[in-house]
């Protein structure tokens, strides 16, 4: 089916309106999903259509974009002969028609990467998507909310069972298995790497990045993340033979050092997100000489770029971030502040 999807798309992208991009399921054209004329607002003077896109609309937009390229989206909508708002055209293009979109289910590697990036970036789906070539923020967001979040939720509920801590490893529940395993060691502070709140606080965000930055130099006295009491090394390592973590979140020190380490997170890819600031990021980070430093540079860039958005909340993330990066040691109190908002609790809704 996946192959069929790719083939079909290469022939006529609009055909794939009938196939969901992620699952590859043939679902038929959901003509009534968002009933185009259902709302009175749709009958306004502009007669702008809403709801699902028809194959004809897809064709129009695709042809226009391929022939004329992207301009002002409202112009695109008008010039392409679409009775859609520019916003809708943009969304359709980015999420569905873009030629470089990858189709099909998320691979285990992609899943791991999403989880990892989410632990660092929170719900900054666009930033996460920028590191997954061919994937859209919407796709990743849906995947997270439907699959990963549910998995975590299920796993959290399973922690109430006394047997769960002894349960064998299940790749489908690996995140919470690890978290719960640590969680049961009450004498050690546990930071569930995958369970950072939707919007990590600046201090927590900084702390996580601090860990990544200074993992080797973490004060042994902290020992927050190492149940064995040894030096605290924060990083993640994939056992490539299994496709998942080999030793838990806080075990190895290997981020970005192995060729096969998927957490050697690629710099922002040339993924045609049409986002200007993503392109800027890409231009500043896209070098392959030093993956490790690039990665952290990249994260810093992310912080810088998200800073503007956060400014209206009255918090200067960037300053906080840089401040904490220079601290060189853990601010346990700050860290603990954030623990209460970990999705260990959040996912219990």
Partner DNA sequence: AATATCATCAACCGCACCGAC
Partner DNA sequence: GGTCGGTGCGGTTGATGATAT
* List of residues contacting DNA (CB under 7 A): 17, 20-23, 25, 27-28, 30-35, 38-39, 41, 49-53, 71-74, 86-88, 90-92, 95-96, 123-127, 137-139, 141-143, 145-147, 150, 198-199, 273-278, 308-312
Residue 53 beta carbon to DNA: minimum distance, rounded to whole angstroms: 4
List of residues 6+ apart from 137 with CB closer than 8 A = 125, 126, 128, 129
Residue with Cβ nearer DNA (151 or 291): 151
**Helical ranges in the chain per DSSP H:** 2-11, 55-68, 73-79, 86-92, 108-121, 125-129, 137-143, 149-158, 174-183, 202-214, 276-285, 291-311, 317-325, 332-339, 343-346
**Helical ranges in 218-316 per DSSP H:** 276-285, 291-311
Residue with Cβ nearer DNA (292 or 307): 307
Residue with Cβ nearer DNA (91 or 253): 91
Contact in structure between 101 and 136 (CB atoms under 8 Å): yes
Residue 89 beta carbon to DNA: minimum distance, rounded to whole angstroms: 8
Residue with Cβ nearer DNA (135 or 182): 135
Residue 327 beta carbon to DNA: minimum distance, rounded to whole angstroms: 26
Residue with Cβ nearer DNA (92 or 182): 92
For residue 39, the surrounding DSSP H or E stretch is none
Residue 5 beta carbon to DNA: minimum distance, rounded to whole angstroms: 11
Residue 20 beta carbon to DNA: minimum distance, rounded to whole angstroms: 4
For residue 48, the surrounding DSSP H or E stretch is none
- Quote the CA–CA distance of 133 and 124 in Å, as a whole number: 16
């Amino acid at each position: 089916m996946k192959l069929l999807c790719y083939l079909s798309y290469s022939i006529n992208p609009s055909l794939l309106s009938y196939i969901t991009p992620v699952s590859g399921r043939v679902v038929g054209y959901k003509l009534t999903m968002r009933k185009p004329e259902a709302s009175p607002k749709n009958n306004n003077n502009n007669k702008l259509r809403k709801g699902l896109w028809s194959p004809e609309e897809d064709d129009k937009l695709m042809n226009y974009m391929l022939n004329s390229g992207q301009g002002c989206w409202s112009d695109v909508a008008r010039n392409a002969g679409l009775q859609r708002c520019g916003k809708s055209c943009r969304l359709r293009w980015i999420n569905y028609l873009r030629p470089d979109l990858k189709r099909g289910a998320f691979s285990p590697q992609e899943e791991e990467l999403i989880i990892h990036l989410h632990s660092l970036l929170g719900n900054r789906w666009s930033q996460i998507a920028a590191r997954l070539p061919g994937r859209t923020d919407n796709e990743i967001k849906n995947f997270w909310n439907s699959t990963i979040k549910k998995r975590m939720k299920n796993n959290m509920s399973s922690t109430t069972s006394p047997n769960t801590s002894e349960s064998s490893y299940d790749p489908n529940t690996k995140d919470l298995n690890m978290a719960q395993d640590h969680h049961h060691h009450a004498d050690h502070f546990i930071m569930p790497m995958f369970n950072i709140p939707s919007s990590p606080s600046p201090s927590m965000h900084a702390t996580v990045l601090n860990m990544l930055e200074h993992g080797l130099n973490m004060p042994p006295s902290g020992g927050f993340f190492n149940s064995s009491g040894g030096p605290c090394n924060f990083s993640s390592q994939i056992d490539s033979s299994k496709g998942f973590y080999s030793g838990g979140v806080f075990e190895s020190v290997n981020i970005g050092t192995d060729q096969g380490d998927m957490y050697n997170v690629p710099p922002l890819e040339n993924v045609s997100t049409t986002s200007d600031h993503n392109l800027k990021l890409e231009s500043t980070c896209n070098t392959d000489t030093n993956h490790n430093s690039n990665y952290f540079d990249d994260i810093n860039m992310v912080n810088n770029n998200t800073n503007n958005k956060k400014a209206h909340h009255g918090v200067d993330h960037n300053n906080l971030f840089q401040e904490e990066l220079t601290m060189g040691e853990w601010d346990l109190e700050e860290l603990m502040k954030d623990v209460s908002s970990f999705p260990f609790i959040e996912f219990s809704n």
